[in-house]
Structure 1
Amino acid sequence: MILYINTTDNDNVQIALKSKREIIVEKKFKAKYRQAEKLLPAISKLLKINKINLKDLQKIKVENREGSFTSLRIGVVTANALGYALGVPVEGGTGKAKVVKSERGRQFNVVIPKYNYKPNITMKKSNK
């Protein structure tokens, strides 16, 4: 079973459960500026309604480009955290992920977001 996460739209979030060949169930919901508080409960509800346990997930796929900084980051961070916790691979929309090693030596892969613009969250504001 594959969990699909798409938070690239500022207004809507899309999640789905897929087998290797088909979409089993798909849900799209409004989450304007509230993706962080709505995403995990929506995933939990989707799994529960379809009688699927987190341990049944074999992969997590997340869209990792073409979105705003915050909405994109929420989806990618959620996918990476779930993948790490469950010990399942995480794959980006590009199909690529980076293999990293934890401090305890455990290898896992993470998806890196591809932003439309260079992040400027840590840049100094100019004094005019």
Structure 2
Amino acid sequence: MVLRRSRKLCLYIDTRGGSTTKDRKVIKVSLKKEGKVVGSLSADNEYGSQALLPLILKLFRTYNPGLSSQIQSGIGSWDELEGIEVETGPGSFTGLRVGVSVANALGFALGIPVNGKKVETKLQYN
């Protein structure tokens, strides 16, 4: 019999591309457990969307230090994830498209739901 950990984590992705300066974009990812943020990271660079997948992996490694070796060995430990929330706007079209595409790909691969959120929902990182 295989015991599976309870799924209680939700990944939040924000690639709207809020600018810190003229040419730099900010992307944010967070992990929520039972409605509370347990980890959050952001990246600020010229091509924010290119940093999304490495940032998600870094967030999971921070939350679960053994994850990197599990991923490399093909075991994976994403089974705690029960859903993904992704910002759908308003914001940079390319940034939003990348965020939604990554969220949908992860949701499909993990067999979990993906939900779009608008800025008006006032999701918080801290």
Greater share of residues in helix:
2
From 104, 117, 125, the equivalent of 1:80 is 104
Q: Tell me, what secondary structure is at the counterpart of 2:106?
A: helix
Task: Please say which structure displays the higher CA radius of gyration.
Answer: 1
**What TM-score results when the alignment is normalised by the length of structure 1?**
0.68
Root-mean-square deviation (Å): 1.4
Structure 2 unaligned spans of 5+ = 1-8, 19-24, 68-76, 119-126
Pairwise CA distance, 1:92: 0.5
Percent identity for Structure 1 against Structure 2? 39
Q: How many matched pairs? A: 93
Q: Which runs of 4+ in 1 moved over 2 A?
A: 31-34
Matches within 5 A, 1:1-128: 1-10=9-18, 11-35=25-49, 37-51=50-64, 53-94=77-118
**What TM-score results when the alignment is normalised by the length of structure 2?**
0.69
Q: Does the aligned pair in 1 maintain the 2:26–2:48 contact within 8 Å?
A: no
Q: Tell me, what secondary structure is at the counterpart of 1:58?
A: strand
Greater share of residues in strand:
2
Instruction: Give the number of the structure with larger relative contact order, counting CA–CA contacts within 8 Å between residues 6 or more apart.
Output: 2
Structure 1 unaligned spans of 5+ = 95-128
